[in-house]
Structure 1
Amino acid sequence: MHPTDFSLRGALDALAEGAISSEELTRAHLDAIERLNPRINAYITVTAEQALARARESDARRARGEAGPLEGLPLAIKDLFCTEGVRTTAGSRILGNFVPPYESTVTANLLRDGAVFLGKANLDEFAMGSSNTTSAFGPVENPWSRRNDPDARLVPGGSSGGSAAAVAARLALGATATDTGGSIRQPAAFCGIAGIKPTYGRCSRFGIVAFASSLDQAGPVARTVEDCALLLRSMAGFDPKDATSAEVPVPDFAAACARGVRGLRIGVPQEYRLDGMPTEIEALWQRGLEWLRAEGAETVEISLPHTRYALPTYYIVAPAEASSNLARYDGVRYGLRVAEADGDLRDLYERTRAAGFGAEVKRRIMIGTYVLSAGYYDAYYLKAQKVRALIRQDFERAWERVDAIVTPATPSAAFGMDEKQDDPVTMYLNDVFTVTANLAGLPGLAVPAGLDAQGLPLGLQVIGRAFDEETVFAVGAAIERAADFRALPGLRAGA
């Protein structure tokens, strides 16, 4: 087996047995990055020397019997997480040279448990996008390709496309990601890997560059459901530096993966059957439900009646919060500054933000500023918050009847970089199956479950009760076992 083909669990076992060292594992991934990253652009910054030094330290700790839960595992870190002494850009020109003097809580937790950071993964600018084409550092290419058009360059999904592409292409064993409206689950589905957005508050947001504060949540992407469980246990935990962090126990998520689904009631929301949805996605959904029934679960038809309003609600709430959060990038305190020698303060703001922000970020700032403005706040933002409460109530009623909900993860497989890009509304529709979990603050897991007619991966989504990621992992692992998804992208290390 090539060193980059390990799962996280497999790598941990190999390291424990002495079959490979962290330095060897890390060097193999760095060699793969050097070979493939110029093509797929999954990393903005590669920290090779730092990674090798930490790998050697990790091997020394293991030799002393001091190995942590993730000891020696090479990971990619989405470039939205502040990393002390390492450039953090958020995929934007305005933060192009920002080097944080502190570490985000999530990445600090991973370092505490022995992980090795390979570098910072590319993303849609400020996490705004569903294609990873809005990054100021160029688009990320999906390592998968279509059977009938292998030369077409496909998107990896967004905003965590760099994280997902790095894992799928074997340029990292796992990666951190963030999810505001589907930005973990959609890229995971497009790239044929697993990814979970945990319950809002499960992981600290301290040190993560903010997009929409009431929606953003960190989570992992990895090759398997169990790998995601291993990463999430290290990433999660209460943090007094984050007022939205929940003081709840962090269970052994990996143990839940073997729990099975016998006796569970699985909800099937009728509102997720969309007009025009590809028949192969509907067929995969039904196949997934059959797999769960065969394992002893019961499927129950349910209704989430306000789902139809979720997408417009999200695209009012998220831009409004982005407008507020991004007001801090003014060219005064840090990041890019553009100004004429004789310009006034307003001129400084205008020139800096015009040069520093890309088109999609500007679009969302303008939408957000509009819906928060005098005369429109009640008509748009306040109404959206009321609808958000109704969406949350729909789920609360559903939990009276079911233990988890299973839906498609995305309305299509990965699309081409030259497709959909000139129509923002069409792009926003990629989040149609995922935004509800963010609006309600619930955990959602994407699991690769099949291929479309062009050989591209398709995923199923499992949604669970707040802080019941264990049931989500149990259901996801059952789908994973039944699907036995072994297809690999053509563009990967060791291929």
Structure 2
Amino acid sequence: MTELPKMKIAEARDALRKGDVTAIELTEACLKAIDGAGPLNAFVHHTPEIATEQARAADARVKAGDAPALCGIPLGIKDLFCTKGVPSQAASRILQGFRPEYESTVTSQLFDAGAVMLGKLNMDEFAMGSSNETSTYGDVVNPWRAGNDETKLTPGGSSGGSAAAVAADLCLGATGTDTGGSIRQPAAFTGITGIKPTYGRCSRWGIVAFASSLDQAGPMAKDVRDAAILLQAMCGHDPKDSTSADLPVPDFESMLTGDIKGKVIGIPREYRMDGMPDEIEALWSEGRKMLQDAGAELRDISLPHTKYALPAYYVIAPAEASSNLARYDGVRYGHRATLSQGDGITEMYEKTRAEGFGDEVKRRVMIGTYVLSAGFYDAYYNRARKVRTLIKRDFETVFAEGIDAILTPATPSSAFALGQEQADPVQMYLNDVFTVTVNLAGLPGIAVPAGLDRKGLPLGLQLIGRPWEEGDLLNTAYALERAAGFVDKPAKWW
């Protein structure tokens, strides 16, 4: 039983269909692993009754011969996804006690495909953070450690709970969301695979909004094949989301041939940052060699507006956040402050929001309100939108010149200690330096584990693909994964 949670999705799917294991056995083994992983603080709302009921239904479907790929597969769901009747707090005190009467489109699709929900996963509050230290539930701890050092490391953010749970074999896969790197950065920090699909590929309906023009759901899994299986179930057109693309969803798994002969991989010179650690540069160089050895052609490219991506992102994202978070006022649901005699509606709003939002959320709401205010709108927000258009055009230009995918580092370092960068918000924001361009341009991006640093911590590489060509991107990632041969797992200490 203890080995069952270590299975990959594809492996478990085949075992379930052969009758070697049941969904109930798989689910119970994962629930037991979760119970023993308290120090990681990855799961924050446990749903064993729902999981058992869904597993029984999955076993019946398998027995009847009606079993989609995810039937009976135990998953963790990021707390940003609304799940009917289950607390959905976005890791914020202001949504304390909120139990939606509806199901997000993505989780509906997963459950229709027979997936089992083990519980809700920790995250940065309203998905705002790069280290999972802004959560009302407390920090998530990375299952990896630097050698024999007992220092607690960040799993990355905002999908830190998802990353830690998958890396620690508490579940077979998890949902994440990515607004500026929140799937890819934690995937790289924990040695797993995470893909952010093209903007519009997955419905945003029922996912608590951070920055609506940037947010996109995606899977976090143990390898590329599992990511492909999960992504296929999560994608699809949704009339309830006006930004959802009405496009057919390919069979992503069947596209994993590993054959990338003749593919042209772009290497952007602007991603060679000043002060980049030697290990990141060496990994990037090794990744280039791996793809070349697999038959791909490498080509140096230029994405000239990359240097403006972080400042543009940290104007646009807070602006959209300040608008989206205006709805949380303590009137209809969630936390409401205790009022003093004589307090009116304005005081109730102010006190509720002051108590309910954490420091990072308040910081971004204030920045967003400032850049949208009269006199600053053109100077900041409109200018950032123009820069975003130029960044998007950079990618369109290189893809038009025959580039099939772009290889970059996923993060500027391996996982750092919890608390290390909390005092300096700007230093924390720099963790997104390689990932935000993908969100600004609406492109698909995937992080693949490719090696260990000298401290024994995982490092990832990022591949950026053409819009709507996730299948091709996954296949290139599959070739990279096979060449890298990354099989390391964290030593169990929790």
Aligned to 1:344: 344
The letter for the 2-side match of 1:230 is I
Measured after TM superposition, the shift of residue 65 of structure 1 is 1.5
SS at match of 2:219: strand
Measured after TM superposition, the shift of residue 333 of structure 1 is 1.3
The one-character-per-residue Cα deviations of 1:113-159 (angstroms, maximum 9, x if unpaired) are 0000000000000000000010000000000000152x100000000
SS at match of 1:422: coil
How far apart, in 1, do the equivalents of 2:268 and 2:297 lie?
14
Contact 1:177–1:220 at 8 Å: present in 2 too?
Answer: yes
Contact 1:148–1:454 at 8 Å: present in 2 too?
Answer: no
Aligned to 2:180: 181
For residues 67-78 of structure 1, the aligned pairs below 5 Å read 67-78=67-78
How far apart, in 2, do the equivalents of 1:492 and 1:477 lie?
30
Aligned to 2:136: 136
Measured after TM superposition, the shift of residue 260 of structure 1 is 1.5
How far apart, in 2, do the equivalents of 1:104 and 1:491 lie?
34
The letter for the 2-side match of 1:451 is L
For residues 9-408 of structure 1, the aligned pairs below 5 Å read 9-36=10-37, 38-147=38-147, 149=149, 151-340=150-339, 341-401=341-401, 402-408=403-409
The letter for the 1-side match of 2:474 is F
Measured after TM superposition, the shift of residue 394 of structure 1 is 0.2
Contact 1:267–1:300 at 8 Å: present in 2 too?
Answer: yes
Measured after TM superposition, the shift of residue 69 of structure 1 is 2.4
The letter for the 2-side match of 1:460 is L
Aligned to 1:414: 415
SS at match of 2:274: coil
Contact 1:47–1:119 at 8 Å: present in 2 too?
Answer: yes
Measured after TM superposition, the shift of residue 492 of structure 1 is 7.3
The one-character-per-residue Cα deviations of 1:174-196 (angstroms, maximum 9, x if unpaired) are 00000000000000000000000
How far apart, in 2, do the equivalents of 1:220 and 1:461 lie?
15
Structure 1 residues 78 and 202 mapped into 2: Cα distance closer, same or farther (>3 Å)?
same
SS at match of 1:459: strand
Q: Which runs of 5+ in 2 are unaligned?
A: none
TM-score, normalised to structure 2, is: 0.98
SS at match of 1:305: coil
The letter for the 2-side match of 1:437 is V
User: Alignment length, in residue pairs?
Assistant: 491
SS at match of 1:59: helix
The one-character-per-residue Cα deviations of 1:378-398 (angstroms, maximum 9, x if unpaired) are 000000000000000000001
Measured after TM superposition, the shift of residue 491 of structure 1 is 2.7
SS at match of 2:386: helix
SS at match of 1:56: helix
How far apart, in 1, do the equivalents of 2:287 and 2:325 lie?
41
SS at match of 2:400: coil
The one-character-per-residue Cα deviations of 1:267-300 (angstroms, maximum 9, x if unpaired) are 0000000111111111111111111111110000
Structure 1 residues 148 and 34 mapped into 2: Cα distance closer, same or farther (>3 Å)?
closer
How far apart, in 2, do the equivalents of 1:65 and 1:95 lie?
41
How far apart, in 2, do the equivalents of 1:420 and 1:134 lie?
12
Aligned to 2:3: 2
Which sits farther off after the overlay, 375-384 or 41-50? 41-50
Q: Which runs of 5+ in 1 are unaligned?
A: none
How far apart, in 1, do the equivalents of 2:111 and 2:181 lie?
26
The letter for the 1-side match of 2:123 is L
Measured after TM superposition, the shift of residue 259 of structure 1 is 4.4
Contact 1:92–1:357 at 8 Å: present in 2 too?
Answer: yes
The letter for the 2-side match of 1:115 is A
How far apart, in 2, do the equivalents of 1:370 and 1:260 lie?
50
Aligned to 1:434: 435
Contact 1:443–1:465 at 8 Å: present in 2 too?
Answer: yes
How far apart, in 2, do the equivalents of 1:187 and 1:477 lie?
19
Say whether residues 1:463 and 2:468 are aligned partners: no
Measured after TM superposition, the shift of residue 490 of structure 1 is 1.2
Which sits farther off after the overlay, 64-73 or 481-490? 64-73
SS at match of 2:305: helix
The letter for the 2-side match of 1:378 is D
How far apart, in 2, do the equivalents of 1:117 and 1:266 lie?
38
SS at match of 1:319: helix
Measured after TM superposition, the shift of residue 5 of structure 1 is 1.1
Aligned to 2:487: 486
| Identity over aligned pairs, percent | 62
Contact 1:152–1:416 at 8 Å: present in 2 too?
Answer: yes
Contact 1:196–1:228 at 8 Å: present in 2 too?
Answer: yes
How far apart, in 2, do the equivalents of 1:39 and 1:379 lie?
46
The letter for the 2-side match of 1:40 is L
Contact 1:4–1:29 at 8 Å: present in 2 too?
Answer: yes
The one-character-per-residue Cα deviations of 1:241-260 (angstroms, maximum 9, x if unpaired) are 00000001100111222242
How far apart, in 1, do the equivalents of 2:148 and 2:113 lie?
44
Contact 1:309–1:387 at 8 Å: present in 2 too?
Answer: yes
Contact 1:370–1:376 at 8 Å: present in 2 too?
Answer: yes
The letter for the 1-side match of 2:11 is G
Structure 1 residues 492 and 266 mapped into 2: Cα distance closer, same or farther (>3 Å)?
farther
Contact 1:185–1:445 at 8 Å: present in 2 too?
Answer: yes
Measured after TM superposition, the shift of residue 342 of structure 1 is 3.3
How far apart, in 2, do the equivalents of 1:410 and 1:253 lie?
26
How far apart, in 2, do the equivalents of 1:259 and 1:148 lie?
36
How far apart, in 2, do the equivalents of 1:269 and 1:301 lie?
6
